Amino acid sequence: MTLSAELAEQHDEPDWRQHQHLLKNVKKIVWKIGQAARAKGLGADRVKPGYTELLELAGSLMARTRRLLETLNCHVEVDAVNWLGTGFSGLKQELQNYLLLTEKVCDTARRRVLLGETIPNEEKIFSMFEPHTELIKRGKQPDPIQYGHKVLVIEDGAGFICGRWRLGSRRGNTGHDRAAKTDGGQDSARLI
């Protein structure tokens, strides 16, 4: 919302003057959902009214954002998410990316909470600001589940790092994930 308001202000568009009020409304709904989730009774149905309200508000905000981008002659490309979240040429492109991510998150929330579907981890977005983040089930205590990337690090016998690779991304391993290549033998390598 702040990004939309900043872009609208730069181009003298009046539609986002009340963005702080809208942000307070969103936070209030999220707080209500949190309260309902912590409450006992009613099962999973206790959060549905809050999610319905939040998704309706998010839908209207996304429609406003689309109108703003259209007014600024910036057309949103379907499935053009920048999974690394870097290399934006300006606020318009960054806003476009966040709009697409928000649509995906809203769709996932609608399917999971309102329709009761089980969403596989490959389809989930764990961070809007680092959408390439993955869920890692390590099983180690005290944090059996962590977020980040699986990385293979190979050391030689003296403990020097010979190579490292980012392992199979859920967004597709394009070859750019490879950070270094090792010529060392497997017998002298140790997985960290």
| Average pLDDT score over residue span 55-75 | 85
CB 183 within 8 A of CB 147: no
Q: Model confidence at 86, in pLDDT bands (50, 70, 90)?
A: low
> Which 3 state secondary structure label does DSSP give 145?
strand
Is pLDDT at 166 greater than 80 in this prediction? no
Confidence of residue 46 (pLDDT cuts 50, 70, 90): confident
Residue 110 has pLDDT above 90, yes or no: yes
The answer to whether the CB of 74 falls within 8 A of the CB of 96 is yes
Best CA proximity match to 136, nearest among 167, 178, 180: 167
Q: Check residue 124 and give its pLDDT.
A: 82
Q: Is the pLDDT of residue 131 over 80?
A: no
Report yes or no on whether pTM surpasses 0.85. no
Average pLDDT over all residues of the chain: 76
Q: Is the pLDDT of residue 183 over 60?
A: no
pLDDT of residue 182: 39
List phi, psi (to 5°) of 16: -115, 20
For 57-73, what is the mean pLDDT? 86
